[in-house]
Structure 1
């Protein structure tokens, strides 16, 4: 009966998510609560109370939630202060009228702006900066759309990005997951900048040649015309903001390897956010306005993490997780057990494309992980494996901001998906190949 309830719960959860009958937040709390209560009432649940299970689950996700809250606020403040503006301007000056340089500059700026983990922000900044150049030089707009989505796909794996935060919450891993993701991410970014963009650029250069643009024409491309945006920029604080950002992220990564300097990630971003506010916006009213205007993005992510804690607490505390894992083992051929990390990585491709991140990580990953434990795989290995399919996730029609990207660039979704996918295969191979080569995901565990 407990096995039946566990599968029924996942089916109901997936149904309400995919049909949008309930929000992810509501479904993460109410669906497992109803099934846990049923298991309690008919006497098949483990010993313990509903409240205790929930608190245990939230306890496992609280550090992730706190880290995300301050990480999102920190990068939002850096964006407001204009941290990325000089980088964009320098790249435009570097590109001038050479299509090859324009494409390389696009890749660099898209990767840099994606540091805050938000696809909408990346789209708006990159399209505003580069679309006029592409049009002026008669370049293929499709290339712009492909490079933006590729770099955002890679940077979306940062711990404060959506999918990684969900994997962390579900499997209880800390922000040191970044140290395992970083090699594949760095290689993928270099692949886009030094292979994909130059390949596109050489084709465009052969087709169009090189057009000389005056300094005045280039300057016009970077002028901020919105007075409200201009008012919150802090160009005089740019160097300080660079040092603060690089130092914070560097400390976060280094702390994963050097125990003596390790600090909880939420502490680093808490202190970083406070310093960023005090230095860039010393006036109390300005500080309050920056927090209130950026809090919505942070809260919408953080409440999902705590709701995931409720889901996992009830799923595991009631015994449904164990029951489902045992049933899964009887279904999956034993010969595949030792390759479970690779199996999860392959499942994550269609899983994160056809199902929302909420549906996959909160609905599909828990039973996959329970099976993985029985074959000897760890939380970190399974979390990494589940993120491999993110190479294609942002091409999914379920991703909201891509419609903004397609509308601004006037691109056909099907053609854009096809063109992007052929390059993103390389990103997927780099992700998986790097994780396997470095031993972060075992290719095979003898059974």
Structure 2
């Protein structure tokens, strides 16, 4: 294998791609049939299949599998693998921070306000969830969106006995659209790979993003009407509204800090500004997200809870949830590290471009758009956009298409990318909402088809991409 060149011999490429598909298919089969937990599947499937692939292909030593796995966690510059350790640390402090704020009562006024506005109507709750998710997703970070929206909405869903699946689906649908903003991961990689103009790319994909956003609101209306039929409009009395904060955390009423709500709000807003605009605006430094949440949690803990016993209670209360999410993210790092280190990701990308018939060259943007759906699901954004997309672009240019056409077409797959087991923050979302991964992926993919269709419709009409 020519790892440094990213080029594989035909037979070797086919073998590595096959083993890569076996890893992904094995993982999906185990969790959907409930024969194994996502954690054990993420760790054991790539290790076992990777070791077998080492003996069958001879492309790497079987002992290298463990080096690849740890690189997926802690990074390895030589192998060009970016690990998930920084994400895991950020999630640790972010979960502890927002958990503390939930217990202290920062979100109680928000929840009470939402309940007063929606008046117990599930339809209004779901539409509000969609709008809030789209708005918060502007920062391009799925973890922040998940934490903020879930913190605000889960108590409302519990109060009205609504389905958490709807919450989990709407968040991911919204984030998959707003993630296409220039500071989001996929767009930045497309620009780097194809050297296209950032402003023009954004102008030409915005119509699709707007139509897709309207589709997400439409999904909220459809699901809201179904929930209204199932539950009816719940009559919430003023007395019940007053009890919302207490019922959010009844076992820790004494940890409520209503008198600290303004300090907690200002602290949270400052953290969000630094997180989103750090390095972009004057006098706001660029600070690592993990450090932002670590500092914020330390300040919030000391100022809200001067008693060491109460501090320990808060840490213990949310520490277990944080650990559950972190081990999933680290397991995803093992999964990603093996696929990247063995060359399976690159081989799947090369095979994907090789398998497409030349006869489809006259419709290459459509081919690229369709290929981007499985491509961005099976591969990381780095692997697809930096590895596969240049190959697809080369074929497109040979058939008379501009790199901008291929760039726009490649964004369509983002409708499904965030359902991939390679995306770390989805384990946070699944943990907070308590939904099953396999069922959530199927449900989200069903509604994601509408997002995909919106992207296709706009790119081939107002987006100016030749069909």
Tell me the TM-score normalized by structure 1: 0.62
Partner residue, 2:93: 70
1:374 maps to which of 367, 391, 400: 391
SS at match of 2:247: coil
Gap change, CA 1:28 and 1:66, over 3 Å in 2: farther
1:152 to 166, 171, 178: 171
Residue ranges of structure 2 left out of the alignment (5+ in a row)? 1-10, 76-81, 137-143, 193-201, 394-402, 421-428
CA drift at 1:120:
8.0
The answer as to 2:389 corresponding to 1:389 is no
Give the secondary structure class of the aligned counterpart of 2:320. Answer: helix
Which of 278, 291, 296 aligns to 1:267? It is 291
Relative to 1, partners in 2 of residues 1:392 and 1:402: Cα closer, same or farther, differing over 3 Å?
Answer: farther
Aligned to 1:267, what secondary structure does the other structure show? helix
- Taking the aligned partners of 1:83 and 1:273, their CA distance within structure 2 comes to 14
Q: Which runs of 5+ in 1 are unaligned?
A: 132-140, 174-179, 353-359, 394-398, 407-412
Q: Does 1:297 align with 2:307?
A: no
Q: Does 1:247 align with 2:270?
A: yes
Structure 1 equivalent of residue 17 of structure 2? 7
**Paired position in structure 2 for 1:26:** 43
Does the residue aligned with 2:306 lie in a helix, a strand or coil? coil
Q: 1:285 to 1:48 in 2, by over 3 A?
A: same
Candidates 106, 128, 137, aligned match of 2:158: 128
Q: Judge conservation of contact 2:349–2:388 (CA < 8 Å) in 1.
A: yes
Q: After superposition, where does 1:342-381 map in structure 2 within 5 Å?
A: 342-344=369-371, 346-347=373-374, 360=378, 370-375=387-392
State the 1:86 CA deviation: 0.6
Is the contact made by 2:176 and 2:415 (CA closer than 8 Å) also made in structure 1?
no
Structure 1 residue 324: deviation in Å? 3.5
Residue pair 1:55, 1:310 contacting (<8 A) in 2 also:
yes
Q: Is the alpha carbon distance of 1:192 and 1:375 closer, same or farther for their aligned partners in structure 2, counting shifts above 3 Å?
A: closer
Distance 1:404 1:298, change over 3 A: closer
Give 2:254's aligned residue.
231
Which of 313, 323, 348 aligns to 1:324? It is: 348
CA distance 1:212–1:187, change in 2 (3 Å)? same
Q: 1:310 to 1:153 in 2, by over 3 A?
A: closer
**Equivalent residue, structure 1, for 2:104:** 81
Alignment of 1:167-316 (within 5 A): 215-216=238-239, 218-219=241-242, 224=247, 227-255=250-278, 257-258=280-281, 261-316=285-340
Deviations 1:124-160 (Å, cap 9, x if unpaired)? 51233335xxxxxxxxx7xx87964564335666999
Q: CA RMSD in A?
A: 5.7
Q: Which range is displaced more, 332-341 or 282-291?
A: 332-341
2:5 maps to none
Alpha-carbon spacing, 1:31–1:301, altered in 2? closer, same or farther (3 Å)? farther
Query: 1:44 matched to which residue of 2?
Result: 59
Task: Count residues in correspondence.
Answer: 386
Q: Which moved more, 1:76-85 or 1:145-154?
A: 145-154
TM-score with structure 2 length normalisation?
0.59
- Once the two structures are TM-superposed, the CA of residue 49 in structure 1 deviates from its matched residue by 4.9
Cα–Cα, structure 1 residues 436 and 235, in superposed 2: closer, same or farther, change >3 Å?
farther
Paired residue secondary structure (2:60): coil
